[in-house]
Structure 1
Amino acid sequence: MKVLRRYLAREIYLATALVFAALISLFIIFDLIHELSDVGKSAYRVSQAVVYVLLSVPGHAYELFPIAALIGTVVAVSHLAGHSELTVMRSSGVSLYRLALAVCTAGLVLALMTLVVGELIAPASDRAAQRLRLQATSSVVGQEFRSGLWVKDEGNFINVREVHLDSTLRGIKIFEFDHRFHLRSISFAERGEYLGDHWWALSNVVRTEFHGTQSRVVRLPSERWRSVLSPEIINVLLVDPHKMTLSNLWSYIQHLRENRQNSTRFEIALWRKLTYPAAVLVMMLLALPFAQYQRRAGGVGAKVFVAIMVGLGFHLLNRLFAYLGMLNEWPPVLSGVGPTVAFLGLAFAGMWWVERR
């Protein structure tokens, strides 16, 4: 069985690598075509567009791992079935469940690669890609609404019109409330620079203070300001939650909870990140029932087409569950883990049905 596992793993790795190369090449071409439409804006050049596309590759690779593993496993086991090697294995007493165990053993390497790419490579690469593009096009980091970025800081509400790549802030408004939620003051600062340890240096501050029915305007050339806002939180704006690291997701969720803000979107992303490596194994298990019909119906092309449809279905269902979970306030664990569990059940049902036949 050890020789069989090695042989099966080699076939799966080779087929998956070829599928990965094809899929990544397609994404590079599509991304480059899309970026060429923005070439010429500000200082954005073709060379920078190429670098941006290449820096986006790890993020695409992370998303494609389950689909590539599914298609690669389908190609590998279909190839074995077409050469009657699978028939010899089954005739020698190897059950479908033992084959599934061998496939999962080979899939552990791919699952580990998914974890490494998702935790160490993709977040840093995506952040670098976004910084490169924003710097070349002279854009700001991001804005949650047309009015800018809004952050809750204990009893205060902070509005920032622009966040720049060097983490400087422009157009800062601070609405300060007392414990009874009465407005105490409104401060406006033209610019804010981060000093460290959650301290900011504000420039050209205009503060309107409210005392009962009276108000007073105070103007300051500079002021130190302590806030929960930090470059680490600002960096969250550069990376999609599903491509953030687990540690960054967890810390940002804690920040939102401490400020009594909705963290559902990031909790769903956290559960998806936790289960995404396991989704690679689930997709590989789904490939096994296909091989049983290699001799009777359809060739490898038909199997690959069905595998692509199943992989796309899994990808779309993952996103659909995330959106439905946020809209309907489902438990984050259900929205994040539900599709993977559903496809795992489908894989076991397929193997059970094949074994009964």
Structure 2
Amino acid sequence: MFLKRLDRYIAKTVLSTTLLVLLVLVGLFLFFTFIEELDEIGKGNYSTYHALNYVFMMTPRRTYEFFPIAALLGSLLGLGLLSNNSELTVMRASGVSIMRIGWSLIKVGLALMVLVILLGESVAPYAEQKAKNMRALAQSGQSALNTRHGLWARDGNNFIHIRRPDVGGQLEEVTFYAFDKEQRLQQLTTASSAFYYDKQWVLEDIAQTHINGNQITGERLTWQERSEFPTPNLINVLTMEPSHLSTPELYRYIDYLQQNNLHAAPYELSFWYRMIYPLTTIVSIFLALPFVFGSLRSVAVGQRILVGTLLGIVFYALNQVMGHSALLYGINPLFSALLPTLLFFMLALLLMRRIF
């Protein structure tokens, strides 16, 4: 009974500080994002409403990304408050071990983590994709839609479907639908691939079908130039990014890319980051223990915030460096995703040895 009450008390304290830190971190990021978006207002149809909508729809993704750092800072603050009020000293005098207190801390972190993962797997991919699509379309003034089944675009009475848009301008499985003013299909053109050259799209391996009343004719062409395409910049923005997919969808997409000998490294890196996300969160919480029971047990709250913030910045920067290095130098994605978490886990173990 005593330990259950202890768990609830620690959970209540740490939960409040973690949520507060998460709110501050996400709020600051969204504020600076909105400041950046102010420079984009006026491009095409992009307005203040679009900027605010973009910032709002990015909230689930930022919540997911910042949670491990918020868990570290929130744990430092929560345990720091208990330490400053001598409550941790009373717990230790009652026979409660540091590891038992740490387990109480991890349990509340795991409960929050489950909610954040559900948010990151369900709401965040859809909201981020919708936000970036809305932003790109408003700025470009073009009509286009990105879905999990490819990119759709409209140019007058022509509709274009790109099954596999690829960043950099190389496209595969492109289909054109040409309608007349009465919205009757006049021509169907399919191309196995397309690339941008000299301000024109060049289609390759083309099958073309002409519909004229009840008469249907077809022909095959080696190549053809077309101009009624979305711009390469728009295609780059609307290309399906790893963050636009849930983890099961990401796994299936990686399998699809590998089977077709396509570049899958960015998607594999994102997949492994998600796989180790629970471990990253637990390590972040565990890292708070030696700072509260060790050298920082008697320092002010402000110093704990500084230490936690510096650790969070280092962890975030290390993740970014390893991620870019993996893509640049062909480093194993699992190793790149796991290394920052392992280094912080080793740091936590090293610091914990000093308090036992």
Residue 30 of structure 1 deviates from its aligned partner by 0.7
Residue 348 of structure 1 deviates from its aligned partner by 2.5
SS class of match (1:33):
helix
Residue 331 of structure 1 deviates from its aligned partner by 2.4
- Kindly provide the CA deviation profile for residues 54-107 of structure 1, in whole angstroms up to 9, marking residues without a partner as x: 001111111100111111110000000000001111111211111111111111
Q: Letter of the aligned partner of 1:208 in structure 2? A: T
Structure 1 segment 151-170 matched on structure 2, within 5 A: 151=172, 158-159=193-194, 161=196
- For residue 156 of structure 2, what is the aligned residue in structure 1? none
SS class of match (1:354):
coil
1:173 matches 2:199? no
Unpaired runs of 5+ residues, structure 2, are 147-164, 175-190, 209-217, 226-234
1:351 matches 2:352? yes
CA shift in 2, pair 1:244/1:349, >3 Å = farther
May I ask how many residue pairs the two structures share in their alignment? 297
- For residue 101 of structure 1, what is the aligned residue in structure 2? 103
Give yes or no for contact 2:132–2:238 (8 Å, CA) kept in 1.
Answer: no
CA shift in 2, pair 1:143/1:271, >3 Å = closer
Give yes or no for contact 1:187–1:207 (8 Å, CA) kept in 2.
Answer: yes
- Percent of residue pairs identical: 31
SS class of match (1:159):
strand
- For residue 222 of structure 2, what is the aligned residue in structure 1? 208
Distance in 1 (CA, whole Å) between partners of 2:271 and 2:236 is: 17
Q: 1:79 aligns with which of 74, 81, 88?
A: 81
CA shift in 2, pair 1:81/1:51, >3 Å = same
SS class of match (1:280):
helix
- For residue 308 of structure 1, what is the aligned residue in structure 2? 309
CA shift in 2, pair 1:242/1:127, >3 Å = closer
Distance in 1 (CA, whole Å) between partners of 2:268 and 2:14 is: 33
Give yes or no for contact 1:127–1:238 (8 Å, CA) kept in 2.
Answer: no
Q: 1:144 aligns with which of 160, 163, 167?
A: 167
CA shift in 2, pair 1:261/1:80, >3 Å = same
SS class of match (2:355):
helix
Distance in 1 (CA, whole Å) between partners of 2:83 and 2:12 is: 16
CA shift in 2, pair 1:6/1:159, >3 Å = same
Using structure 2 for the length normalisation, give the TM-score: 0.75
Q: Letter of the aligned partner of 1:278 in structure 2? A: L
- For residue 318 of structure 2, what is the aligned residue in structure 1? 317
CA shift in 2, pair 1:50/1:206, >3 Å = farther
Q: Letter of the aligned partner of 1:289 in structure 2? A: P
Q: Letter of the aligned partner of 1:307 in structure 2? A: G
Q: Letter of the aligned partner of 1:45 in structure 2? A: S
Distance in 1 (CA, whole Å) between partners of 2:292 and 2:271 is: 34
Q: Letter of the aligned partner of 1:321 in structure 2? A: M
SS class of match (1:125):
helix
Residue 271 of structure 1 deviates from its aligned partner by 0.8
- Kindly provide the CA deviation profile for residues 198-257 of structure 1, in whole angstroms up to 9, marking residues without a partner as x: xxxxxx987238xxxxxxx9x9xxxxxxxxxxxxxx999555424531122112211211
CA shift in 2, pair 1:114/1:295, >3 Å = closer
- For residue 286 of structure 2, what is the aligned residue in structure 1? 285
SS class of match (1:77):
helix
- For residue 20 of structure 2, what is the aligned residue in structure 1? 18
- For residue 34 of structure 1, what is the aligned residue in structure 2? 36
Give yes or no for contact 2:126–2:244 (8 Å, CA) kept in 1.
Answer: no
1:131 matches 2:133? yes
- For residue 180 of structure 1, what is the aligned residue in structure 2? none
Residue 329 of structure 1 deviates from its aligned partner by 2.6
SS class of match (2:263):
coil
1:43 matches 2:45? yes
- Indicate the larger mover: 106-115 or 291-300: 291-300
Q: Letter of the aligned partner of 1:173 in structure 2? A: L
Residue 171 of structure 1 deviates from its aligned partner by 3.7
- For residue 341 of structure 1, what is the aligned residue in structure 2? 342
Structure 1 segment 267-282 matched on structure 2, within 5 A: 267-282=268-283
Give yes or no for contact 1:242–1:272 (8 Å, CA) kept in 2.
Answer: no
Give yes or no for contact 2:166–2:239 (8 Å, CA) kept in 1.
Answer: no
Give yes or no for contact 2:326–2:336 (8 Å, CA) kept in 1.
Answer: yes
CA shift in 2, pair 1:240/1:297, >3 Å = farther
Give yes or no for contact 2:167–2:236 (8 Å, CA) kept in 1.
Answer: no
SS class of match (2:194):
strand
Unpaired runs of 5+ residues, structure 1, are 163-169, 175-185, 190-203, 210-216, 220-233
SS class of match (2:221):
strand
Distance in 2 (CA, whole Å) between partners of 1:205 and 1:276 is: 52
SS class of match (1:262):
coil
Distance in 2 (CA, whole Å) between partners of 1:37 and 1:68 is: 29
Using structure 1 for the length normalisation, give the TM-score: 0.75
SS class of match (2:203):
strand
CA shift in 2, pair 1:128/1:91, >3 Å = same
- For residue 332 of structure 1, what is the aligned residue in structure 2? 333
CA shift in 2, pair 1:274/1:152, >3 Å = farther
Residue 293 of structure 1 deviates from its aligned partner by 4.6
